[in-house]
A and B are shown apart, each in its own frame.
Chain A
Amino acid sequence: QKEVEQNSGPLSVPEGAIASLNCTYSDRGSQSFFWYRQYSGKSPELIMFIYSNGDKEDGRFTAQLNKASQYVSLLIRDSQPSDSATYLCAVPNGQNFVFGPGTRLSVLP
């Protein structure tokens, strides 16, 4: 069974700062990685996916993948209070996904 680990938080950052969210995974054969955002009481929504080593940028979001270290991170630049949510890291496991426990981010105005 693949494992995906994340710090549960809460991670608190001031508005305008960079928030850094981390995820480690157990299966060296994992090829693709997904970051979902989940607001309280809502369902998860995909914000980024990455399958190549290095960085992938989309607006204020950057995903970073290091397969050798089995580590994927999500950076949120210029954090806004609206970014306050739980961020889930997910790794495909055959036909399913393994979701991490999520990191709760709080952006303080």
Chain B
Amino acid sequence: EAGVVQSPRYKIIEKKQPVAFWCNPISGHNTLYWYLQNLGQGPELLIRYENEEAVDDSQLPKDRFSAERLKGVDSTLKIQPAELGDSAVYLCASSPTSGVEAFFGQGTRLTVV
């Protein structure tokens, strides 16, 4: 069975440009997470979905970040406009609603120049 799929793996953009990341969770997993990981730090939660509802977005910088999970399956995270400080790895994870284990994708490494 395929794991959590993220694309692209790498993205380089100029500051002030928009960027979008895509995540396809494991089939049947109702819970989807987006995390941000800065170099040398642990992942930080940006947003958590239960099906199509964002149930925890308190850490999402809503002035420039947005996310959607249409139909409760795959999800898109967008940054507009990107800033130099947004350079990081963006991780997507999924789990069954009552599941113990979260499954992570390989992440998208964003570099803003």
* B is a partner of A: no
Residue ranges of B at the interface with A (Cβ–Cβ < 8 Å): none
